[in-house]
Amino acid sequence: MKKSLPLDDRRWLPLTKVHAELAQSLDRKILAAWDLGEKLRTGGIRSMCRHTSTYWGDAPPAPELLDKYFWRGHEIVPVNNDVFVFPLPGLPTPGRELSDFVFYVWGPDCKNIFDPSVTPAAPNPQAQEVPGERGRKPFPERTTLTVIAFALAERRKQGEPEKTQADVGRELLDWCVRNKKKVPKPTTLGDIVRAAFRIRTEWRTSRKG
């Protein structure tokens, strides 16, 4: 059993910083967010959060250690040079504003991600080959497409108008084609884009509060 972690230790690293380093290594922000999310969901990387609200004359709430079950209901979303944490589509909104928290991961747990001396075992080509699957396009996880749709909705040049759901739907379709992914049915694609816009609205509302 792992010992309880000290929440005031300097080895806690901001989630944004760890994501940035991993994204540079993988050359893709979305892949870094996915890999980190998987490690957090399985407990391979431990995490905590701290409240950022201002308390005049009062001490802020104590840091809170998070368990892997928190991450099984939340997703890391890269937006520009930052990352945000959102509840997964279809789940009830949490009883706290996630925008009021900063998330950290335990540095020693990240060693296997960044340490170049740790070389993963070479994949076995025979084990990867599945009869009848050759030439078939992989279908992206619905959650992954929702995250990508959110990022596409946010990505626009200064002065450009807000994107519509139709705009994002076309861009998401183009993303699947360019990355050689199986394209979802139109109804599924529409549901994914609507979920991304709903999360985006909740996120913007929480930031205003």
| Residue 128, domain member (yes or no) | no
Q: Are residues 154 and 60 in the same domain?
A: no
Domain count of the fold of the chain: 2
| Residue 124, domain member (yes or no) | no
The residue range of the domain holding 201 is 137-209
| Residue 33, domain member (yes or no) | yes
CA–CA dist 16, 204 (Å, integer): 19
Q: Are residues 146 and 49 in the same domain?
A: no
pLDDT value of residue 24? 84
pLDDT value of residue 46? 94
Q: Which of 48, 82, 117 is at the close of a domain?
A: 117
| Residue 131, domain member (yes or no) | no
Record the pTM.
Answer: 0.54
The residue type at 10:
R
pLDDT value of residue 114? 61
| Residue 123, domain member (yes or no) | no
Closest residue by Cα to residue 66 from 93, 101, 97, 110: 101
The residue type at 176:
C
Q: Which of 83, 117, 151 is at the close of a domain?
A: 117
Encoding tokens for residue 124? 């076995």
Q: Are residues 18 and 96 in the same domain?
A: yes
pLDDT value of residue 209? 56
Q: Are residues 141 and 111 in the same domain?
A: no
Q: Are residues 25 and 105 in the same domain?
A: yes
Q: Are residues 150 and 109 in the same domain?
A: no
Q: Are residues 14 and 104 in the same domain?
A: yes
pLDDT value of residue 104? 94
Q: Which of 87, 117, 147 is at the close of a domain?
A: 117
pLDDT value of residue 98? 62
pLDDT value of residue 131? 40
| Residue 132, domain member (yes or no) | no
pLDDT value of residue 122? 41
Residue for token pair 């450009």: 160
Q: Are residues 209 and 144 in the same domain?
A: yes
Q: Are residues 112 and 204 in the same domain?
A: no
Written as tens digits, the pLDDT of the chain (209 aa) is: 356 788 888 899 999 999 988 888 777 788 888 889 889 999 999 999 988 765 555 667 788 899 898 888 888 877 767 777 877 655 544 445 566 788 999 999 987 666 544 333 344 434 333 343 444 444 457 778 888 888 888 887 777 888 888 888 888 888 887 777 777 777 788 888 888 888 888 877 776 65
| Residue 181, domain member (yes or no) | yes
| Residue 130, domain member (yes or no) | no
CA–CA dist 18, 113 (Å, integer): 10
Q: Are residues 14 and 61 in the same domain?
A: yes
Q: Are residues 112 and 141 in the same domain?
A: no
What are the start-end ranges of the H helices in 72-121?
111-114
Q: Are residues 110 and 141 in the same domain?
A: no
Closest residue by Cα to residue 48 from 80, 79, 15: 15
